[in-house]
Amino acid sequence: MDGLDFENGARALIQASGIGKLKPNVVMIGFKNDWQTCNTDDLLAYFNILHNTFDNRMAVTILRLQDGLDYTKSSDETDDGMLSMAPSSADLTSDTPTNLLRADSNFSIMSPSMPRNDSENSLTFKSSTPYFVPDSPASSMKHYSVTLDQRSVVASPKAIFKAKKKAITEQILSKGANGSVIHSSVPESMSLFRVKQKHGTIDVWWLYDDGGLTILLPYIINSRSNWSGCKLRVFALTNRRQELELEERNMASLLAKFRIDYSSLTMVAGITEPPGTETVSLFDNLLEGFRENEASDQECMVTDEEYSIQKQKTDRQLRLRELLQQNSKDASLIVMSLPMPRKGSVSAPLYMAWLEVLTRDLPPFILVRGNQSSVLTFYS
């Protein structure tokens, strides 16, 4: 919303968007990765948006990628020498694509590690102006050379066209808007939900009955072509080990009635066990600067009383983290029920610490909380 800050703009958008049956009922927001270092006004604004969404009886989904969703600062600006040698996108677009992408042009590509082969059925190469194209975050740069070769190239026009197009695209995508070099992992992260996923798993942690959105959303994602190759695994919690098989049969029967296709169902026990000391230490470190005797802002502070009252819920989130690390560390996508931020009971830093400890160092993560309206059709 133009002319409004983030909180008021989000509130206006929630209240004004849609009409009647066309009114949206889900708000999706990115995880605030800088909640520990941002100013308190920004943190409270983010927290208030969640409350405002629930007040308007809308569902909430929070998406977290470990590298974040903002790629404006992802360029590598430290190596000025490499930047000065990299071609600008303006140079590429003004000089190369129109003519060089033609199948009958002499444009060819090579890398120093590529074996030279002068046979008639292969592309021939000739060293020329050096360009730098990113290969991986570890190696940062890999030297490529692009040239106009006077010798004839004997290959299919389609193969030549693809080679030229790929080379020019890599050179253009390897540079940011300010001319700085971007690691090749950045475009891959940006297109995570646009490319076809390799065989993996979508792990669903269905913890609360909030209308069924937590199980419906990953089911819809799994039905799309980009994610159809992934298996859908469902995890649910149980407190009674002696009735584990019975609860598993009941959950399987429920999913069958909802017509949810899944590859495996796991009933996870041990949620009531105390979390490990390492996990507790991690959580306490997250709250540094927000405790009662450390915080500078009274509105953004975790009091000793609140910490004590919410200890049982905190231990539950810490234990969930340990279970996630044990079962879903290698998943392609994790979808989990979002803990409810009770207004007046849970402060912004404590709630964000819960979300942080749940999602840190894990694959792409979606936290979901429905609006208590049923979104699943019961099939009897």
Interval 126-176: pLDDT, tens: 434 444 444 444 444 444 444 444 444 456 778 888 887 777 766 665 565
Residue 281 has pLDDT above 90, yes or no: yes
Phi, psi of 209 (to 5 degrees): -90, 95
Angle CA 375–48–302, to nearest 5: 115
Burial class (CB in 10 A: 0-12, 13-18, 19+), 168: buried
Task: Give the DSSP H or E segment for 29.
Answer: strand 26-30
Q: How far, in Å, CA of 348 to CA of 360, rounded?
A: 18
Domains of the chain: 6-65+196-369 (3.40.50), 75-188 (no CATH)
Interval 60-107: pLDDT, tens: 999 999 876 665 665 544 444 444 444 454 444 444 444 544 545 554
Residue 319 has pLDDT above 90, yes or no: yes
Listed in sequence order, the residues at least 6 apart from 17 whose beta carbon sits closer than 8 Å to its beta carbon are: 23, 24
Q: How far, in Å, CA of 291 to CA of 133, rounded?
A: 47
Our CA dihedral for 342, 36, 208, 267, rounded to 10 degrees, sits at -150
Mapping DSSP onto H, E and C, the string for 124-169 reads CCCCCEEEEECCCCCCCCEEEEEEECCCCCCCCHHHHHHHHHHHHH
Burial class (CB in 10 A: 0-12, 13-18, 19+), 337: buried
Share of the chain above pLDDT 90, in %: 39
Rounded to an integer, the average pLDDT of 1-27 is: 85
Interval 247-272: pLDDT, tens: 888 888 888 888 888 999 999 988 98
Pairing mode, strands 365-369 and 59-64: antiparallel
Give the CA radius of gyration of the chain.
26
Interval 16-47: pLDDT, tens: 888 888 888 899 999 999 999 999 999 999 99
